[in-house]
A and B are shown apart, each in its own frame.
Chain A
Amino acid sequence: MPWVTQRTWTTAEKVTASQLNVMIRDDLNYLYGPRPGCRAHHDQAAEAVANADGTYDFLPMAVTDEDTDEMRTITVDTTPTPASAFAQIKTAGKYLVTAQLTFLVDQAITTHGFEWGVQIIKRTSGTNTVIGAKQNPNSGNVGPSTHNCKTLWDFAVDDLIGLLPVIGSLFVGVHITNDRAALAVAWLGN
């Protein structure tokens, strides 16, 4: 149930049960939760991430772990990216966004490069804006590399949020389990 704008009470008005239910019960329930939010993750063991054209591709998040506001039901155009890559804002407000992914061990680091990271993208009417980024050294051939990024943003209705792997190589593999390539979005306030 969405937030209902609080009314201004006036002197001598008769307060109804309906008014109290909406203004107190329903709005307190809204704040108590579950608040608008969602979490999704990738569903493949590994995926090649290409940047051969100089641009990166949004990581599809085919599995929805939680969704309290139909944020994973995408109703705006995402072409050419699969809709599953995004969460769509249905309730405006300030959200905490966290994104993480894990790159596989690089088997040929000299050719694949070092520039690995993750970006949180706000996509509005087809225009992408980087609102969060983490770009740290990878582990080379020693082990996988996990990147975790978090940010706080004031979103409008229909803004899309996606996770963008950032690499300096032709392709690398992305480790995928439900905690290693995931996007989580939580409403904090209006």
Chain B
Amino acid sequence: MTPSAAQMNAHIRDNLNFLYSAPACRVYNSAAISIANATWTALTFNSERFDNNTMHSTSSNTGRITFTTAGRYLLTFAAEFAANATGFRQISMDHSVTVGIASETVPVVSAAAATAMDTATHWACAAAEYATAFCYQTSGGNLNVNSSAAYSPEFMAHWMGN
């Protein structure tokens, strides 16, 4: 058989372009988010640094990265808590089917220094499933997750393979 131009475009051009520009996004929130004491709080993200697969919306379910394309994804979440001397800090990521797929827990740094954290994992995701990011702190009162430069709070995903 002789392949048609349409077949060549679909099976060579388009598939290779998919692998070259695999689905990925990085989103962040441009303002601090207050976290209540001893309460797991889902973060929201009102801005996008990049999103090449309609994985995030800044108008609905802004806390989600949705896997428009199924596959295995590298997921990373970073957040910086405001300086405070009391308690401990946790961050975590959930998958829509599985709660708690990655986390980090640390004591506070000091009363004078923020606590900057990140966590990452690799997870198999079906189309339309999604990931969310959470923060937890035990300062005894409300405490901000800072909006800092380009590192807090930031939520990222990159397709690594099917």
Q: Which residues of A pack against B, CB within 8 Å?
A: 3, 6-13, 15, 23-24, 27-28, 30-31, 94, 96, 113-117, 119-120, 122, 129-137, 149-154, 168, 188-190
Closest 4 CB pairs of A and B: A115-B113, A135-B116, A9-B8, A130-B149
Tell me which residues across on chain A come within 8 A of B78, comparing CB atoms. Answer: 132-133, 151
Quick one: which of B9, B117, B152, B160 contacts A188, CB cutoff 8 A? B160
Per-position 1/0 for B105-141, Cβ under 8 A of A:
0111110111111101000000000000000000000
Query: How near does chain A come to B152, taking the closest CB pair, in angstroms?
Result: 7
Q: Is the CB of B21 within 8 A of A189?
A: yes
Interface residues on B, range: 35 or more
Complex CA gap A6/B116 in Å reads 42
Complex CA gap A23/B21 in Å reads 15
Q: Taking the complex as formed, is B55 at the interface, i.e. its CB lies under 8 A from any CB of chain A?
A: no
- Among residues of B, the one whose C-beta sits closest to the C-beta of A31 is B19
Query: How near does chain A come to B117, taking the closest CB pair, in angstroms?
Result: 7
Tell me which residues across on chain A come within 8 A of B8, comparing CB atoms. Answer: 9, 15
* Contacts known (A31-B20, A114-B113, A130-B151); A137 close to B108, Cβ less than 8 A: yes
Q: Can you offer 18 A-B residue contacts whose CB atoms are under 8 A?
A: A8-B9, A9-B5, A11-B5, A115-B109, A131-B150, A133-B78, A135-B114, A136-B117, A137-B106, A137-B110, A150-B120, A151-B151, A153-B49, A168-B112, A188-B22, A189-B21, A189-B22, A189-B159
